[in-house]
Amino acid sequence: MIVVDKSVFILNTKNTTYVFHRMENGYLEHLYYGDYVDFKGHYDAIIPKVEFPNGSLVVYSEEYGNIALETRAQEISTRGKGDVREPMVDVTFADGNKTCDFVYQSYEIVAKTNLQDLPSAYGEEIESLVIYMKDVRYGLILALTYSVFVESNVITRSSKLIHEGEGNIIVDRLLSMQLDLPKSSYTITSFQGAWAREMQKHTLTLDGGIFVNNSKAGISSNRNNPFMMLSDATTSEEYGACYGSNLIYSGNHYEAVEVGSNKTTRFLSGMNPFGFSFTLMPGQTIESPEAVLTFASNGFRGVSANMHQFVRNHIVRGVHQFKERPILINSWEASYFDFSEASLFRLARAAKGVGIELFVLDDGWFGKRNDDTSSLGDWSVNTKKLPNGLKGLAEKINRIGMDFGIWVEPEMINADSDCYRNHPEYAVNATLGEQSLGRHQMILDLTQLVVQDYVIEQITGVIESANITYVKWDMNRVFSDVFTASLPPDRQGEFSHRYVLGLYRVLKVLTERFPQVLFESCSSGGNRFDLGMLCYMPQVWASDNTDATCRVAIQTGYSYGYPMSVVGAHVSASPNHQTLRVTSLETRFQVACFGLLGYECNLVDLSSEELELITKQVAWYKKYRAVLQFGDYYRVMSNEAGRYQWMVVSKDKKTAIGLFFQTLVEANYSYPTFQATGLDDDRIYTFKNRRSEFNIKVFGDLINSISPVHLKQDSLAHNIVAKFMKKEYEKEEYIVSGSVLNNTGIQLKQAFVGTGYNDDMRMFQDFASRLYIIEEV
Ligand code: GLA
């Protein structure tokens, strides 16, 4: 809810309040952002009392000699007028002057609207406060929009420059939000990484200087995800003050945290000013992406809960928003580029046999693509591999009762492609030989309308060529050496942003043209995992790394800012193709099942025993899919000596699933608790583990301490015994109150430590995991 009381502006969500006011000089001073506060109409107490500027500070003007902007918390800041901290807006006027002076003009409260060319959050009955500031000398208006998402405890912010004056203005930076906080020494949590190592949690305490989390890769990137948190030093998973921030944008982003001379903290977020320079002609406007802010006083968990609710309800949209997502088989790690219609169909049949619902044909089906050096840009089927086209293959697959989906990488072009031979000018920095390539490919120049239309038509052709219900939209290199002939020399600084705008137009047209198609965004895994893409595509392939041990950390990282309903997670081969680590099929599944489950391995080569196990996994996942995909997710234990516990609880609190994962065995550590959370204290539940079997070979030659005959390791006799003598996991089964689950947790069965064994022991080796099923009685 938005309240304006004379010069004070109050934005209330269910649990938070955000307040600022208009100062005497027409600037906007930030007063408070935190837990919900009821002012009962009295604000004087929280307005700073300043009679004289401290020390040698520059003051705003002789008239307002008490206003030294460097020490005032502001809603926006620019260059000049005494504030020497990082600005939110920076422009160069036609006369070369860079000093800005935006003064309050007016405000309006309106129903939230979409941004013009950028994706934005949406929702019914969402109010926006729009404040108009103006630099009257140059006729430049800065419109600030604050939208209030009451239930999610989120406030979004965006800014827009409207040029009503004379001459061209160069916009050097237009960030989306600024949050000036009253103290220093916040703990900053950001999520950094690389290919196959996305979303590694990184923390530091900043009590001086500046910290920047950003992307210069042209995409939001796996290097630094735009989601960030600022918290008190004492904040933990469940307790303490925490701010969360994200950006609805898929290009270069910039989040800066600066501690000023008066020991306060400025937090900024928006498009990266690096390489950015945008010319505004008289009459033109430029809008920033929308920034997302939340606050919680119940720790990281509170921020995550707010972000999850916000992303599910106000970012993801379309027919798939709340629809259970299909279990898929993806051909990539099953056969890479090497397949035929027959081999794909064999894979589909094996997948159907275990209950999988959607067959996804990944890279290698088009042009003459047998490796990654050619054919991107030529979206016509390779008839050597698929003589009956996509249509023929899709029909066969549909006939056995599976849906059919396809991989595309529409933003890319190989030099070895008909597209490049016919239209070299379609590529970014088209002069081949000059630019550095990534995965042998160039990027199509989506700043050009003709190239956008080319991509739209090509992909329309692909989707219409067969019964395609799913599209994996990939993007496998970062930007480098950017240059476009479509812009004049002095406007090359617009390239990166214009590319993103071009991409958004393409995505808008295609997703509106094919509303039934389930799109999954991908960029070498999570190289473009952001809220911008999620406005068009309801799920993302989170990482090319499918090693369960790595995935547990990666998925935990995503969980801070994103709900599990957008995270693609697959079971792949063992040894894993990225790490060569050997992990049990059960652990691979138990970690993947917390996301949108798929399989990405050659099922045709698996043993009947493994297929039987997968059949059970798939059936189990279907039973609990709604809660796993759309329940409330909690981190219970995050990397405590390599141990993780997760929980997901249905909205009605009737059903919950828990995961316990262990990286490495610790000797003589055998009595952990499973600490549940999120259940109803007053209800009674059953707590059970998901039973499965293990191979007695885990005992090694300890088997001889109970075997009547001596078994030599890996001998024929040992293998025969192992094949027929499967052991069941320990049985955990209790009736327990929600209150116990939430507070004391469950004492799990003793883990094997080498001093005895019976059927009640929990065999929990390296990379072991268990799923716990909690259901209301
Ligand atoms: C990227 C994706 C993979 C796969 C390959 C195909 O690496 O992340 O999932 O689609 O491309 O080339």
474 lines ligand 1 (CB under 6 A): yes
pLDDT score at 542: 98
User: Active site includes 605?
Assistant: no
Q: What is the mean pLDDT of the chain?
A: 97
Which of 750, 768, 770 shows the shortest CA–CA distance to 760? 750
From the CA of 410, how far away is ligand 1's center (Å)?
A: 13
Average pLDDT over residues 222-231: 98
More confident site: 267 or 703: 267
Which of 340, 347, 338 shows the shortest CA–CA distance to 370? 338
**pLDDT over 70 for what percent of the chain?**
100
User: Active site includes 474?
Assistant: yes
* Alpha-helical regions (H) of 267-388: 299-310, 332-335, 341-354
pLDDT in tens, 353-364: 999 999 999 999
Instruction: Judge whether residue 448 has pLDDT over 70.
Output: yes
- DSSP helix/strand/coil, 544: coil
pLDDT band per the 50, 70, 90 thresholds, residue 396: very high
**pLDDT over 90 for what percent of the chain?**
95
pLDDT band per the 50, 70, 90 thresholds, residue 259: very high
Quote the DSSP letter at residue 424.
Answer: G
pLDDT score at 432: 61
Q: Are 522 and 596 in contact (CB under 8 A)?
A: no
Q: Whose CA is nearest to atom 12 of ligand 1?
A: 363
Considering the candidates 135, 378, 416, 474, report the single residue annotated as catalytic. Answer: 474
CA angle 502, 503, 505 (to 5 degrees): 65
CA angle 84, 85, 87 (to 5 degrees): 105
138 lines ligand 1 (CB under 6 A): no
Alpha carbons 676 and 16: distance in angstroms, whole number: 27
Pull the structure tokens for residue 207: 């009590």
Q: Are 594 and 564 in contact (CB under 8 A)?
A: yes
Q: 494 phi and psi, to 5 degrees? A: -95, -10
pLDDT score at 243: 98
Put simply, whether the predicted model's pTM sits higher than 0.95 gets the answer: yes
Q: Where do we find the tokens 């262990």?
A: 662
Could you identify the atom of ligand 1 that is nearest to the CA of residue 524?
8
| Paired residues of 204 in beta bridges | 188
Considering the candidates 362, 363, 544, 632, report the single residue annotated as catalytic. Answer: 544
Alpha carbons 246 and 532: distance in angstroms, whole number: 10
pLDDT in tens, 137-183: 999 999 999 999 999 999 999 999 999 999 999 999 999 999 999 99
pLDDT score at 430: 80
Q: Where do we find the tokens 């691979």?
A: 588
Sign of CA dihedral 288, 290, 295, 296: negative
pLDDT in tens, 593-635: 999 999 999 999 999 999 999 999 999 999 999 999 999 999 9
pLDDT in tens, 61-104: 999 999 999 999 999 999 999 999 999 999 999 999 999 999 99
Q: Whose CA is nearest to atom 2 of ligand 1?
A: 524
From the CA of 472, how far away is ligand 1's center (Å)?
A: 9
Q: Whose CA is nearest to atom 3 of ligand 1?
A: 524
From the CA of 29, how far away is ligand 1's center (Å)?
A: 48
407 lines ligand 1 (CB under 6 A): yes
525 lines ligand 1 (CB under 6 A): yes
From the CA of 278, how far away is ligand 1's center (Å)?
A: 34
Alpha carbons 495 and 748: distance in angstroms, whole number: 57
Instruction: Judge whether residue 397 has pLDDT over 90.
Output: yes
- One-letter amino acid at 501 equals L
Average pLDDT over residues 442-459: 98
| DSSP notation for 671-686 | --EE---SS-TTSEEE
Pull the structure tokens for residue 679: 């259940």
| DSSP notation for 120-139 | ----TT-EEEEEEEEETTTT
Instruction: Judge whether residue 404 has pLDDT over 80.
Output: yes
pLDDT score at 64: 95
pLDDT in tens, 632-664: 999 999 999 999 999 999 999 999 999 999 999
From the CA of 474, how far away is ligand 1's center (Å)?
A: 7
pLDDT in tens, 34-59: 999 999 999 999 999 999 989 999 99
Instruction: Judge whether residue 368 has pLDDT over 90.
Output: yes
Q: Whose CA is nearest to atom 11 of ligand 1?
A: 524
Q: Are 600 and 588 in contact (CB under 8 A)?
A: no
| Paired residues of 130 in beta bridges | 108, 145
Could you identify the atom of ligand 1 that is nearest to the CA of residue 476?
1
Could you identify the atom of ligand 1 that is nearest to the CA of residue 544?
8
pLDDT score at 115: 98
Instruction: Judge whether residue 763 has pLDDT over 70.
Output: yes
